[in-house]
Each structure stands twice: as structure tokens, then as C-alpha cells.
Structure 1
Amino acid sequence: MAAERRSVYRHAFTTRMAHWLWAACLFFLLLSGLQIFTAHPTLYIGNQSGFSFNNSVFSIGAFYQGSEMKGILSFGGMQFDTTGWLGAVEEQGRLVAKTFPGWLTIPSYRDLATGRVVHFFFAWLLVATLLLWFVASVFNRHISRDLVPRGDDFRSLGQDVVDHARLNFHKRSSYGPLQKMTYFGVLFVAMPLMVATGLTMSPGMNAALPFLADLFGGRQTARTLHFVIMLFLVGFFAIHIIMVLLSGPISSLRAMITGWSSVEQEKP
């Protein structure tokens, strides 16, 4: 079989617009979220938190070992030295007690109020973009045609994983099994959970929708899940960028800017 190339209109305008808006929203949500987390860098399970409860599962902090400051990350009973990059970070040539370095938060200095304003603005922008994308994708059949995994996708998943591991990428007019399942998981599982756990942490939403706290096992559990989903999305973003670079960044960028993509067309 000889492979030829042809151009297809792969991404609708609403898909491309949503893609870039999501990228911007998630960037600002991550950095402002870390600013908010700095105010109390400990995660718990349940409804309550504090010194009188033994329900913390993760924390970042600093302590003194003699006259030397040390950063420490605690997770599940284990402790890791993070001096210099978490808990105790270097600023102007000396270590200071700070959860994250300044380049990793918005604002770069400690300012919870501004971090919350930035976070909530981009959170609602993300929700609005998700809703608009969903409505448009139902009407243009992007969801049913491109994102919902089918029987053939599950049967071909193993080979598709092997092909990706071997960096053997196929430029097709439709998403492969691994792409479909990953995008479906991000758009219909991770992002809705991120929004729902974020709403659960709001006292106002607790009053309006009290079942949310029960659904996630308490406000503190929702906060922990929110943090875990954030880590998952950061991991997805990192892998996504690596795959784009390995499979041809110019072609991928052109497709996500213009909608047109060059794909393989097999013929005898």
C-alpha cells in the first residue's frame, strides 16, 4: 500500500476557538490556584480541617534544622526534602519560607485576594467556553463523530498504544483510539469534575446546593480532588505538547489555527 497525502477540514471554528481559550484559562487557573493553595498548603479528607483533626494527606511546608531552613513535602506518611523549590525557596540569594517559587504563582508575591479574583474570572470563562463548545459540538456532530469511542476503537486501542510508544504516528482525518479516549476523559470527566469540586468549596454553593459536599465526601475531600485533577490536567498538557512536537508541530499548529490538516490517504 502506498500512502498519499490530502488536505481535509478537520477542526471547526468553535473547536479551534475553544482549544485556545481552554489553554489560556487553564494556564491562569493553574498559577492563580497555586497562589490560593499557598494560603493553606495542606490537603485533607472529610469536611473539616485543622490541628485537632488527623485527616491530612498532603502538605508542603518549611522547618528549621538547627539554623538551616528546610523545605518538606509530606504525602501519605512519607516526607521528602524539597529545599530550594517547594516549601523553602530561594529569593534574592537566601531561602525563605514559601510554598512555591514566585514564577509559579499569579501574582508572583503572596496575595490571596488577587489570586482569587484571577482564579474565579478564568474559572467562569472556562465554564462558559465549555458550554458553548458543547452546544456547537452537538450540532456539528463533533462529539458523536470524533470523540465518542466505539467498539472498533476499543479493539484497536492496544495497537494504537504500541504505535505511540514506537513514535509511529498516523495522520488520519479522524482521531485514533487513544486520542478519542483521552480527549473524552478530559472533556467529559476531568473538566466537569474540576468545575464541580470547585463549586463544592464555595460556601455560597454549599448553601444553594448542599448535596455537592455529600457527593464528594466533604468540602475538604473536594479540595483534595480538585488538586489531584489539576495534577492530571498538567500531566495531560505536558504529554499533549510532547506528542505535538514529536508528530510534527508545524502541521499540528496549522490545523488548530486554520482547521485544515494534511492526512494520509492509503490506496493500492
Structure 2
Amino acid sequence: MTQVATSSDKPARVKVYRHSLAVRITHWLNVLCLTFLLMSGLQIFNAHPYLYWGEYGSDALPDASFVAIEAYADGDSMKGVTRVGPIAMTTTGVLGASYSGGELTPRAFPAWLTIPSYQDLGTGRRWHFFFAWFFVINGLVYLVYGLVSRHFRRDLLPAAEELTPRHLGHEIAQHARLRFPRGEAARRYNSLQKLAYLGVGFVLLPLMVLTGLTMSPGFNAIFPWLLDLFGGRQSARTLHFIVAALTVGFVVIHLAMVLLSGVWNNLRSMITGYYTLHLDGGRRTGDEH
């Protein structure tokens, strides 16, 4: 659907219907779910701030970890230290030891990043499990809609010419220069967006769900092959954390692109469904207002 508005002294504006109601609802529910999953997940991580590879049990020793976020006494105070393999970094104030009530407190992730803000593993797990199932149901709804409406094929599946090295190299160079699609090209997702959304939606998020289920003894009893697939519960926990970090990285880049390419137009399109283009001398350009 397209709406055109013209005036004698302004370029014509074209409103294109870019996001369906189902896409918008599932998008914002994902935002809600992922926010609570991240914050409650960090609460759970704080209870044992170490990551391991292999078949370690619940009594895994910190010395066997390849990632650790710890606090050490430093005279009358303390310092936070984050270790990745043999590399150790002082991260006082952010990781390992952060301020709570004006005092440094031993805590892997700071209180303002966790739900609840105080250390409570049981409550954190309840928040995490609730929004995990909410997230799975929302994802299944989006999957069914995408297949029935052909949203995946129409909007997300790249054409063969979009996957050529020359085309992808050109889009990467344009994005690096902060030159975003305009005019007709702004009507639909570009190749990098399509690949990113497909990668997150069909690789990262399913992997996050499967590694999360692998950490559940109940699901291990029903689906013991999950432990073999991911190399043990501790390896699954590590992969779960890595996938969560990659998802956060995607969200940060996604938000940066939204801000740089026209925040109000992008935000409006994800609320109302309509994205505005300008007709300027017969050439269409994206409206960033």
C-alpha cells in the first residue's frame, strides 16, 4: 500500500507499508523478552561467574574456567578482575567489583544490569524462565506467520544477485561510509539487513533456546542427546552466554543503524507500519524526519 502527499513548494512524500501488524507486535514482544532475559540471565550468572568447556559438574572449580569475573582484596578496598584465558584485566567499578550504596561490592555484573538488583538466584531464575517461554511462544507465532504470509520469502530471503561478493562488498563499503539506502532501495531491507535478520532469527536465537534447554536436568532426561550435541552442560552454558553476547552485539549495531539512518522514520514504521519516502525531482529519497 502506498500513500502520496504533494504540495506546491515541497517534494512529494510517499508512504509505503513496510511492516505488517504481526511483525510489529512480535518485534516489540521480542524487545520486552530479550531485555528481561538478559537482565535475569546476568543475575543467574552472578551466582557462579565462571565459564567452562566440557563435562564439568556443578562442583566445577574456578581454576578450570577459561572465563572468570572475580573480586580480590586490594588493601582496604577491592578490585574487580575479568579473566579470559591467560589474559586478566582490571575491571573495577564495572565487572567483578561495582558500587552499590556508595561502596564497592563483589559482584560479577553490577546491580543496575540485573533483575532483581540484589543477589537472588531463585528470583532471577523465575524471571528468566517466565520470559524464556514467552519468548519461545512469540517466536513460534512469528515463524508460523512468516511461513503462511510468505514474509520470509518476500522480505528476508536475499536474491542470488544480492549475495555476490561485488554486491555485498559495495553495501559494506556504503555502510562504513554511513551512506544508507535511499529512494526505491529504502522500500525494502538491503542484503546486509536480510542476512543479519536471518542469522539472528534462524541461528542465534534457536541456538540460545537449545543451549538453555540443555542446562535443564528435566529436559536432559527427555532429550539426552542435547548433552552430547553441545558437549555437556557446562559447554552449553558457555555457548548460551556467547550467543547472548552476540545477540546483544547485534542489538547495539541495529540501534546504531536506526539512529544514523533516520530514527523517527524507522521508529514510526515499526509502530504504525508506514515508512516515508520523499520524491525529489523524480528521485525518491528516504525521509528522516
| Deviation at residue 150 of structure 1 after TM alignment | 2.7
Q: Which amino acid aligns with 1:235?
A: G
| Residue 239 of structure 2, aligned match among 219, 225, 229 | 225
Q: 1 CA distance for matches of 2:91 and 2:243?
A: 22
Aligned to 2:70: 61
| Residue 93 of structure 2, aligned match among 81, 84, 87 | 84
Q: Which amino acid aligns with 2:249?
A: G
Aligned to 1:191: 205
Once the two structures are superposed, the pairs formed by residues 138-149 of structure 1 within 5 Å of their partners are 138-149=147-158
Q: 1 CA distance for matches of 2:61 and 2:113?
A: 31
Once the two structures are superposed, the pairs formed by residues 107-256 of structure 1 within 5 Å of their partners are 107-155=116-164, 156-171=167-182, 172-256=186-270
Which moves more between the two structures, 163-172 or 243-252?
Answer: 163-172
Q: 2 CA distance for matches of 1:138 and 1:113?
A: 38
Q: 2 CA distance for matches of 1:241 and 1:45?
A: 32
- Looking at both structures, which has the greater relative contact order when contacts are Cα pairs under 8 Å and sequence separation is at least 6? 1
Secondary structure of 1:248's aligned partner: helix
Q: Is the 8 A contact 1:7 1:261 kept in 2?
A: yes
Q: Is the 8 A contact 1:28 1:118 kept in 2?
A: yes
What TM-score do you get using the length of structure 1 for normalisation?
A: 0.94
Secondary structure of 2:66's aligned partner: strand
Q: Which amino acid aligns with 1:35?
A: Q
How many residues align? The count is 266
| Deviation at residue 158 of structure 1 after TM alignment | 1.1
| Deviation at residue 53 of structure 1 after TM alignment | 8.2
Aligned to 1:33: 41
Q: Deviations over 1:2-30 (max 9, x none)?
A: x9752211111110001000001000000
Secondary structure of 1:100's aligned partner: coil
Q: Which amino acid aligns with 1:256?
A: M
Q: 2 CA distance for matches of 1:179 and 1:164?
A: 11
| Residue 22 of structure 2, aligned match among 1, 14, 20 | 14
Q: 2 CA distance for matches of 1:117 and 1:139?
A: 34
Q: 2 CA distance for matches of 1:54 and 1:31?
A: 26
| Deviation at residue 52 of structure 1 after TM alignment | 5.5
Higher Rg:
2
Alpha-carbon spacing, 1:78–1:138, altered in 2? closer, same or farther (3 Å): same
Aligned to 1:103: 112
List alignment gaps of at least 5 residues for structure 2: 1-10, 284-289
List alignment gaps of at least 5 residues for structure 1: none
Q: 1 CA distance for matches of 2:62 and 2:54?
A: 10
| Residue 42 of structure 1, aligned match among 50, 63, 78 | 50
What TM-score do you get using the length of structure 2 for normalisation?
A: 0.87
